[in-house]
């Protein structure tokens, strides 16, 4: 039975654009795979602990010599990596916070990236398609004044392909603050168009992935 790993990281439970678009992906993917399994992680509602010394050192210690703290930390990493390994597709919703990803998503990445298993010579989830929904209040596309401040897609592209060997693509609703910030009122039409396009793109991507069409 196919499995989707669906991750959200917006701190907002209401009015989140990344949640709305990742949900559109999920709905289209489920329509293409009736009865399939979805593993859902809401990193804002249930934050993961930061990777700590116990989690880092546990991997270098034989199981029978691990402290209880190391074993607990290792079990969490094992569970999170297993979720990624089980997945036939992944969708990640991430807002831009201060030019980059939320710390909750960084915590997930630090837990999941484990040399010798999910990363390294033979990454265990290599080739899995992942769609990142990157919502942002302003605009950071090519040629915009803030292009060089963009560390969401640039970072995730590197870490998801370079470390985990996933097949990554991005859906990017922009100008989301136009509807809440009066100073950005002139961008409202662009914001609405960007979100509408993102919803279409996410559903199309999910249908293609769900039907097994190569990226």
- Counting contacts by CB under 6 A, is residue 101 touching ligand FMN? no
Q: Compute the CA torsion angle 26, 31, 82, 154 (nearest 10 deg).
A: -40
Q: Dmax of the chain from CA atoms?
A: 63
Among 66, 136, 195, 205, binds ligand FMN (CB under 6 A): 136
CB nearer to ligand FMN: pick between 62 and 98: 98
- Which residues, 69 to 98, sit near ligand FMN by CB under 6 A? 95-98
Among 38, 159, 163, 177, binds ligand FMN (CB under 6 A): 177
**Least Å from the CB of residue 97 to ligand FMN:** 4
Half-sphere exposure of residue 121, counting CA atoms within 13 Å on the CB side?
1
The first and second tokens of residue 76, run together, are: 């969490």
**Least Å from the CB of residue 148 to ligand FMN:** 13
- Counting contacts by CB under 6 A, is residue 191 touching ligand FMN? no
CB nearer to ligand FMN: pick between 97 and 155: 97
CB nearer to ligand FMN: pick between 34 and 98: 98
- Counting contacts by CB under 6 A, is residue 176 touching ligand FMN? yes
Sheet holding 3-8, edge to edge: 37-42, 3-8, 89-95, 129-135, 167-171
* Nearest partner of 112 among 58, 171, 51, judged by Cα: 51
Phi, psi of 147 (to 5 degrees): -50, -45
**List of residues contacting ligand FMN (CB under 6 A):** 10, 12, 16-19, 95-99, 135-138, 176-177
């Amino acid at each position: 039975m196919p499995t989707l790993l669906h991750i959200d990281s917006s701190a907002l439970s209401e009015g989140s654009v990344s949640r709305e678009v990742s949900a559109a992906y999920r709905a289209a993917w489920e329509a293409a795979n009736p009865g399939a399994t979805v593993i859902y992680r809401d990193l804002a509602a249930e934050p993961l602990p930061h990777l700590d010394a116990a989690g880092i050192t546990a991997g270098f210690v034989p199981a029978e010599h691990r402290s209880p703290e190391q074993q607990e930390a290792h079990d969490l990493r094992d569970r999170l990596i297993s979720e990624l390994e089980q997945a036939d597709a992944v969708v990640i919703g991430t807002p831009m916070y201060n030019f980059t990803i939320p710390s909750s998503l960084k915590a997930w990445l630090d837990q999941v990236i484990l040399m010798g298993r999910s990363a390294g010579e033979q990454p265990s989830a290599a080739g899995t398609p992942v769609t990142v929904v990157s919502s942002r209040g302003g605009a950071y596309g090519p040629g915009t004044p803030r292009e060089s401040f963009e560390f969401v897609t640039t970072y995730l592209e590197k870490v998801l392909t370079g470390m985990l060997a996933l097949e990554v693509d991005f859906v990017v609703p922009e100008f989301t603050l136009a509807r809440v910030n009066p100073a950005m009122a002139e961008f409202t039409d662009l914001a609405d168009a960007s979100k509408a396009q993102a919803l279409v793109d996410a559903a199309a991507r999910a249908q293609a992935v769900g039907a097994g069409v190569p990226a």
